[in-house]
Structure 1
Amino acid sequence: MNQPLTVTVTVSILDKEYCIACPPEERENLESAARHLDGRMRQIRSHGKVIGTERVAVMAALNITHEFLHKSEHLDAEAGDTREHVRKLLERVDTALTNDPNSTDS
């Protein structure tokens, strides 16, 4: 039997239900994302500085996006450091092999 291309998932965000279509294999990720968003929106709303669901949603989206971009930049920097470390290790290996008197390539 063929699996459906999409399933409808009902998620609750700030006590309001939303029906969202997604591929079956993404259901858990969607539910997790909705729980995360709901938690962030509740946190913002509880501070009482932002009024209105739309404004709370925008603030949550901005906060989550900021965190994502910051983590992406951090990962990119780490990847660059790792590439540089690997390059230096390869240079050391190459130097060691070049200076090896037992090498059969000479």
Structure 2
Amino acid sequence: GLVKRHANYVACATDNYLEIYRKRKIIGPYIGFFLLGGGEISVILAFFVCLNQNNIPWLAVILSFIASLGGGLVVYLTFFTLLFGHYAPVSNPIRFNRKTGKVYLYEA
């Protein structure tokens, strides 16, 4: 049969409002951080290998240095997204106000 997910459930129901919890899925930043972090380590290693060679053109050294800076920025932004998602509230509830007919979405 079908497996019912408990990601959305009624948290509170009164005469004034109905609140439904929504759970976020934040697996993407975790995967991205570790994949991009591994790639960044490889680029930094390639930069130091380029510096250690005798007959390598300086353009390769400069390009590997710029790639390591750009990769570091991408990894930093991914890490910031990961931490923001990890420490945000677990639920982003939806609240339906029955008297006014308004819907409130809470986003971290």
Larger proportion of helix: 1
**TM superposition score category, shorter chain reference:** 0.3 to 0.5
For the pair shown, the structure with the greater C-alpha radius of gyration is: 1
The answer to which structure, 1 or 2, has the higher relative contact order (CA under 8 A, 6+ apart) is 2
TM-score relative to the length of structure 2: 0.33
TM-score relative to the length of structure 1: 0.34
Larger proportion of strand: 2
